[in-house]
């Protein structure tokens, strides 16, 4: 069963501290966490099939719910469910973002949910002990419908900026990063039959934003601060 790192769980339960620490960590880039969230999902949408229109979306490790709310905007026909282990974060998410199409649940209730067409997770797996990561992927796999996609976003261990940002955030400082090849193998071992090559994002900070037009052509090189791999359930 998925078990969070204790220190990380305690910090995630303090929603406002979480927001403040994350903002302080990423301010070196010159961008906000909202900007990163929007750009990650925009890139993911562009890589998925044009006719891919999920009816149910899972935000795995939803935290305070901002990403779940954004997923509901970009997929207006979908119901979005966020799950997490942090009770106070879930309560915050429900109060701020809960609605007819957006709901939040404890992780333990995931198995009772109807199947999902898309699962999105960002920066969650480096908080899961390595021995328990395959079990977490298997949990997601069980929750997915046939043909469903699982997009797993992680920080890039090769990128010095990503390491610097994590060193500035209390709940990330002792986290164990995932190498891209490891992440792809993890999805396969957890039951996903098809996995994409890693796609790397966020190479240039805001100061060099005029160079960002180059990023799509460099997305297969292990340069950007984050990357994601998409697994498909056959």
Per-residue pLDDT of the chain (234 residues; tens, 9 = 90+): 344 434 444 444 555 666 677 777 788 788 999 999 999 999 999 999 999 999 999 999 999 999 999 999 999 999 999 999 989 899 999 999 999 999 999 999 999 999 999 999 999 999 999 999 999 999 999 999 999 999 999 999 999 999 998 988 888 888 999 999 999 999 999 999 999 999 999 999 999 999 999 999 999 999 999 999 999 999
pLDDT of residue 1: 35
Among candidate residues 22, 9, 33, 24, the one with its CA nearest the CA of residue 88:
9
> What ranges do the domains of the chain cover?
6-232
pLDDT of residue 18: 64
Strands 116-122 and 102-106: unpaired
Output the pTM of the full model. Answer: 0.91
**What is the DSSP code (8-state) at residue 67?**
H
pLDDT of residue 17: 67
pLDDT of residue 5: 38
What does the alpha-carbon distance between residue 10 and residue 27 come to, in Å, rounded to a whole number? Answer: 23
Among candidate residues 171, 228, 229, the one with its CA nearest the CA of residue 39:
228
* Share of the chain residues as helix, strand and coil, in percent rounded to the nearest 5: 45, 20, 30
CATH number of 6-232: 3.40.50.150
What does the alpha-carbon distance between residue 111 and residue 174 come to, in Å, rounded to a whole number? Answer: 30
DSSP line for 133-156: HHHHHHHHHHHEEEEEEEEEEEE-
C-beta separation of 40 from 122 below 8 A:
yes
């Amino acid at each position: 069963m998925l078990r969070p790192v204790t220190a990380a769980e305690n910090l995630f339960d303090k929603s406002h501290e979480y927001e403040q620490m994350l903002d302080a960590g990423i301010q070196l880039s010159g961008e906000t966490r909202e900007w990163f969230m929007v750009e990650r999902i925009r890139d993911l949408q562009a890589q998925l099939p044009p006719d891919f229109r999920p009816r149910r979306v899972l935000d795995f490790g939803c935290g305070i719910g901002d990403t779940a709310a954004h997923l509901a905007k970009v997929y207006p026909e979908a119901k979005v469910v966020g799950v997490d282990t942090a009770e106070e974060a879930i309560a915050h998410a429900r109060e701020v973002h809960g609605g007819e199409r957006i709901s939040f649940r404890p992780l333990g209730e995931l198995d009772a949910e109807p199947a999902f067409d898309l699962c999105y997770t960002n920066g969650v797996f480096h908080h899961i002990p390595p021995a328990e990561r395959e079990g977490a992927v298997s949990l997601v796999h069980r929750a997915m419908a046939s043909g469903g996609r699982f997009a797993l976003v992680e920080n890039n261990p090769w990128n010095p900026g990503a390491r610097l940002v994590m060193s500035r955030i209390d709940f990330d400082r002792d986290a164990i990063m995932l190498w891209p090849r490891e992440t792809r193998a993890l999805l396969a071992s957890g039951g996903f039959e098809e996995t994409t090559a890693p796609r790397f994002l966020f190479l240039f900070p805001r100061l060099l934003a005029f160079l960002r037009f180059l990023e799509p052509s460099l997305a297969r090189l292990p340069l950007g601060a984050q990357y994601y791999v998409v697994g498909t359930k056959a």
